Amino acid sequence: MNQLWETAFRIRAFDVDANGRIKVNSILDYCQDAASNDAERLGFGYSDFVPRGLTWVLSWARFEFIQFPKFSDEIMLQTWGKKQFKLYSIRDYLFYNSNDEIICKGTSAWLLIDSKSLRPKILPELCPEIKMHDSKDALTDLPQKIIPAEQTEVIYSTQIRYSDIDLNQHANNASYIRLMLDCFHQEFHKKYTMKRLTVSYNAQSKYGDEIQLSKGTEKNNPLMHYIEAKNRTNSKIVFQAIVEWN
């Protein structure tokens, strides 16, 4: 069986921002959909694990953006389960344009969680027959903690709404990216495009939770920002990101 999952698609009107470029949260939506389809194909997806009381949770991800596709561009996305690293199942992504050029690289770390105890499980121990494709890298980075900025300022607060909630009954990973993007003014988005993004999902947020978004700037690089989302209901930092622009 082919260890790579490939899917082709055309960028739709609701995938792009005011500048006609694909939104970063849409990129994560496509990655999540491809990961889900690949896992289902290989026998460790939603329909396999939910009846066993298990669920996949995205814990960390890093993306490098070479070129942002625009409305109606044809794109091919490739993904594969790469290896087990400690508690994390590592999955990579490559986006190609119609000229077969790589336009985005990504890697991600997923936790397989027992839905009741919330304790992690190790995929190779549950499914030893599954083979990882460890000879191919989109990025070689592995999950690590994000260090908060020394100084941050509160940008805005919001609530987790119905449209943010996914099958796991908490805010979807792409929703946090949308909230992060809203920390920057429209004029900033017109002037700059994202170069690199590292995100860490630290805790769950559920319907009705109030989320406070804060931003800090790297001292020696005004185009590198730290973003965090705090759940004001329990004071937990639920999401962190490092964003680099060009």
The model's pLDDT over 177-201, given as tens digits with 9 standing for 90+, comes to 999 999 999 999 999 999 999 999 9
Distance between CA atoms of residues 167 and 132, nearest Å: 26
Assigned CATH for 153-245: 3.10.129.10
3 pLDDT tier (thresholds 50, 70, 90): confident
Residue 205 has pLDDT above 70, yes or no: yes
The CATH homologous superfamily for domain 5-126 is Hotdog Thioesterase (3.10.129.10)
Please tell me the predicted confidence (pLDDT) of residue 1: 61
The helix/strand/coil state of 146 is coil
The helix/strand/coil state of 172 is coil
Please tell me the predicted confidence (pLDDT) of residue 167: 87
Please tell me the predicted confidence (pLDDT) of residue 23: 98
The model's pLDDT over 55-88, given as tens digits with 9 standing for 90+, comes to 999 999 999 999 999 999 999 999 999 999 999 9
Indicate if 153-245 has the same CATH topology as 5-126.
Answer: yes
Residue 35 has pLDDT above 80, yes or no: yes
The model's pLDDT over 143-180, given as tens digits with 9 standing for 90+, comes to 999 999 999 999 999 999 999 999 888 999 999 999 99
2 pLDDT tier (thresholds 50, 70, 90): confident
Please tell me the predicted confidence (pLDDT) of residue 66: 98
Please tell me the predicted confidence (pLDDT) of residue 203: 95
E strands present in the chain: 5-10, 54-65, 74-85, 88-96, 102-114, 120-121, 153-159, 194-201, 210-218, 221-231, 236-245
Residue 95 has pLDDT above 70, yes or no: yes
The percent of the chain in helix, strand and coil, each rounded to the nearest 5, is 20, 45, 35
Listed in sequence order, the residues at least 6 apart from 66 whose beta carbon sits closer than 8 Å to its beta carbon are 102, 103, 104, 105
Enumerate the domain spans of the chain.
5-126, 153-245
Please tell me the predicted confidence (pLDDT) of residue 28: 97
Residue 105 has pLDDT above 70, yes or no: yes
Contact 237, 202 (CB under 8 A): yes
Mean pLDDT of the chain: 96
The model's pLDDT over 206-227, given as tens digits with 9 standing for 90+, comes to 999 999 999 999 989 999 999 9
